[in-house]
Structure 1
Amino acid sequence: MKILLVLGALNGALAVILGAFGAHGLKSRVDESMLAVWSTASEYHFYHALAMLLCGLLARAFGASGMVTAGWVLFAGTLVFSGSLYVLVLSGQKWIGAITPLGGTALIIGWLMLAWSLFKAV
């Protein structure tokens, strides 16, 4: 669970860095619709960095391994969801957006796993 906490914190920092890059570094390079895509990617990246921290802290408090697993699923979902959107904007390859829903599905599963783990632990 320590690695999950560290990854959550590092992902939070990365989300802020990438959000700032999108707001300042991409403004003159991509159109408004692609800036909106980047913004969505960085928002979800940040939310799920916090969720990873939450999973790690809750696992530590309750000793529930399901919460750690949920955190890893959220990490994978963030990597695929936000990562695919970042790549889409930087590359201009629209087809990469086809894998974004797989990341979104993983994010949903991660939240449901966290809910189930909490239900069992509390």
Structure 2
Amino acid sequence: MIESWVIDDGGTAPVASEAVVEILRSRIGEGRRETWLTGSSGRLSAFVTNTERAMVMLLDGEGDPGEHAVDPGNDGWSEGFVLSSGQHDEYPDEDTVLVGEAFRIVEHIGGAGSWPADARRAVDR
């Protein structure tokens, strides 16, 4: 059975992988730039964006440092990553990806339960 994912905002309905990008776009349009998804196996996936770049993480569970998508060799910095707590973060661009790539990664994780084979990531464990 493929893992199902639920947006971690009190909802209980699984999100279809083909719907996750539209949901993320809608949330961004509402000013919600941080989205956590909880998998039926207890894994977590995070998406935080400044609308141009995004931090995408996949964790085995609470407390796991996990893995995050990377853009190696990109030496800039981006700010404007607003968390649901109101905290404003900035990240090195090599630790984030363009938002289109982030959408592709999150959609793939939701459908296959794993990173796309060609997605670059860093293991933080």
What's the TM-score, normalizing by structure 2?
0.30
User: Larger radius of gyration, structure 1 or 2?
Assistant: 1
> Which has more strand, going by share of residues?
2
TM-score normalized with structure 1 length:
0.30
